Amino acid sequence: MQDTERKPKIQNRIFHYLSDFGRLLFGRNSISNEGLGSHGEGMNPFRKYSSLDNEKWFELVSGLIHETSDEKIIPLSPPDEIQKNFTGRSGIDTFRQAFEFYQMVTRSVGVYYSGGIEEAKILDFGCGWGRIIRFFLRDMDPSNIYGCDCVDDMIEICKKTNQWCNFFKSNTYPPLNIEPGYFDIIYAYSVFSHVSEDAQKKWLSEFHRILKPGGILILTTRRFDFIDQIEAIYPESQFDANTAKQDYLEGKYVHFSYGGGYSLEESYWGETAIPREYIENVWTNLFSIVDFIETGKEVDQNVIVGVKK
């Protein structure tokens, strides 16, 4: 979620960060920004770290411990200011949340997906600056890991910091330039907690198009108790929390439009809480809803798991 009043300052900070990034690579080989990634034939994180346990992998990716070899292959992170502007957190806090969601995805895939994750093609939809996608580098070859975002600056940062995954720009509305049935797994963290009902329906149809039969879709949305916070966050708005909570309890789509800067216009972006009843009534023409996770220590949103019909 972005603070639109800080947009010029943040964009200026991102510009200088990207301009200076060549000096921040700490001896790494230069990274190509052309196409969908830059995969070498040598060592990559999957080959090097696939046997690492969860604790060590989290510590390594989050920067609590550092690579011991001269060849540094773990993705870098943008400055804290940029992290916080797009995730509300920075440093170890943002990585704890990202890692918990990553574990939710891998557990769901293990239970509901018929194949192995190491052979799957996965898409991080709305990848931001790439905090979640990097954790999958232990699980599969990076040539099968994709991330997209509608904010150009975020894709640029991803390409600069993560030489392994495939990143591409998306628009606020479909379609994606992806062939039908291409992906096995699609996840989106804190995207369906913001999009309008119209955008939600269009993206669900697009996800159905680009997922393989039996493919897994994992999305998050705001919880019921977040509705009260909207009035506090936007005190000058006309948002009525009591009406919204009643709508939620009646199984209606709850969305407060405000826009998010960049290409995130008011008609598309805001605060969204999608109740389970709505999901089971509307989404099930495309997906079998196999799980609805309402608890999480760091992940403060409901997690919906669907399987393509």
User: 12-53, pLDDT tens digit by residue?
Assistant: 444 445 545 444 443 343 333 333 444 445 689 999 999 999
pLDDT class of 68 with cuts at 50, 70, 90: confident
Q: The whole model's pTM is what?
A: 0.89
Closest CA to 192 of 278, 143, 100, 126: 126
What does the block give as tokens for 267? 């008609």
**Which CATH number goes with the domain that contains 299?**
3.40.50.150
Q: Which of 71, 112, 82 is nearest to 7 (CA)?
A: 82
Exposed/middle/buried for residue 103 (C-beta within 10 Å: 0-12, 13-18, 19+)? middle
Average pLDDT over residues 303-308: 98
Instruction: Give the angle subtended at the CA of 253 by the CAs of 250 and 254, to the nearest 5°.
Output: 95
> Which domain range does residue 241 map to?
4-308
The tally of domains found in the chain comes to 1
Amino acid 41: pLDDT: 52
DSSP, residue by residue, 249-284: HTT--EEEE---BTTB-TTTBEEEE--HHHHHHHGG
Residues 253-267: tens digit of each pLDDT: 999 999 877 778 888
How far is 147 from 223, CA to CA, in rounded Å? 25
Residue pair 131/123 in contact by the 8 Å Cβ criterion: no
Cβ neighbors of 41 (< 8 A, separation 6 or more) are: none
